[in-house]
Structure 1
Amino acid sequence: MADGAALVEEGIGPAQSPLVAVSFQRNVHRKEKYLEAEPKALGITQIGLSVFQITCVAVFLSKGLSDERADIPFFISSLLLIIAGSLAVAARNLHLPTLKACLGMQIVACVASVFNVIFSMMKMDLMHYGCWSYYYDSNSTYLEEICHKLESTNSHFFAEVVVIQAALFAISVTLAAYCCKVVNCCSPAPKMPVITVHVPPVQQ
């Protein structure tokens, strides 16, 4: 009788634990997706381009070719881009609070880049040099030539600023998109199917 009971219990076992079980679990390696964006390269590029922009504007200020009050917002937005680039590099340790801070700063960097583009285009129109010769003396032709060169340099500089800010905007959008995938701020964390195979014990 005891042997019969043991046989019944063994018969119930396989029904309770199927050979193949499918479950859905969160991907523990999802943070590593951020590294696919090459954050070190993009962050260093963000920092380098922003420092270059600040240096160029500082040279214009030192030569008296720009207005200090008008350039303060440009300096502030460029500093925000440097901070965003630094956080992008620091987030390579895949620490979740750092990734969240990186996401927030990259969104701020996008706004700062758009502001710098608009500011540069407005300043290009405001800093228009009037190259007119009122007195026809021996130096008028020379001064007018210098004025035209200065006007051309000014136009090229602000065109270069617009191109660089567009590149910085693209970098910020890319890093923000990858941070968003890791942080899962827009949608719940994706789950991946896990298939478990139960091998029945070999009966002796």
Structure 2
Amino acid sequence: MAEEASVVEEGLPPSQTPLVSVSFERNVNWKQKYLEAEPKALGITQIGLSLFQIISSVLFMSKGLSVTPTGIPVIILSLLVLIAGSLTVAAQNLHLPTLRACLGMQIVAVPASITNMILALVKMNDIPYSCWQYYYDQNSTSPRESCHNIEGTISHFSSECVVINVALVTISITVAAYCCKVTNCCSPAPKMPVITVQAPPAQL
């Protein structure tokens, strides 16, 4: 479709010019569509949940409660999601390059959150052998309650991380869909029909 589809034909004398013409013009408010996604709330949620995962992973690593090496990958992937959340909030200014950067980071955040979800499932069966070994080295014949508590804590925490990453995947897909609409990567820019009514020529 041409930039302007108008019924008015050039070169016609005024007596043959139609009284009504229709043209299609770019919608000047098309970027406002992004604000319908509530990007501030979604971005802050992404940032908060990512920080929670980063801090928790650091604490588990510092206390030696992580047997499988999942802590560092979780921290790196959560940082990517955190950056995506920051761009989601920054894109509220509707600056087109920022919106495109936000779209790119949200696409990256989806597999990052899925990978974190898989790592959380792996960690769910992460048993702190050092705890059991410590008590058996002390000639104890029965498992200690503290080891059971640590196992339960790790299991519940991992389950919580799975739910968190499901939420992060959903948020990333939602924001990416709105960014895609605004940056016109999936469809051409929307146009609005403009109807022009012309006054009839004065009768002499």
The more displaced of 146-155 and 66-75 is: 66-75
Partner of 2:26: 26
Distance 2:176 2:51 in 1: 21
| 1:189 alignment partner, SS class | coil
Aligned match of 2:127? 128
**Which amino acid is 1:91 matched to?**
A
Q: Aligned equivalents of 1:81 and 1:52: distance in 2?
A: 12
Cross-structure match for 1:8: none
Aligned to 1:117: 117
| Contact in 1 for aligned 2:68/2:123 (Cα 8 Å) | no
> Structure 2, unaligned stretches of length 5 or more?
1-12
Distance 1:15 1:164, change over 3 A: same
Supply the distance in 2 between the matched residues of 1:116 and 1:201 (Cα, whole angstroms): 71
For structure 1, list consecutive stretches of 5 or more residues without a partner in the other structure: 1-11
1:68-107 equivalences in 2 (<5 Å): 69-107=69-107
Aligned length: 190
Q: Residues 21-52 of structure 1, C-alpha deviation per residue, up to 9 Å, x if partnerless?
A: 11111211100100000111110110011001
Identity %: 61
TM-score (norm 2): 0.84
CA contact (8 A) 2:124 2:158 kept: yes
The aligned amino acid for 2:174 is: T
| 1:30-75 CA-partner distances (Å, limit 9, x unpaired) | 0010000011111011001100111111111121112594311111
Secondary structure, counterpart of 2:167 in structure 1: helix
Secondary structure at the aligned position of 2:64 is classed as: coil
Q: CA RMSD in A?
A: 2.5
Counterpart residue type for residue 118 of structure 2: I
SS in 2 for 1:66: coil
Q: Which amino acid aligns with 2:83?
A: I
Which residue is 1:200 aligned to?
Answer: 200
The answer (yes or no) to whether the contact 1:46–1:168 under 8 Å persists in 2 is yes
Q: Which residue of 1 aligns with 2:14?
A: 13
Letter in 2 for 1:75: I
Task: Give the structure 2 partner of residue 46 of structure 1.
Answer: 46
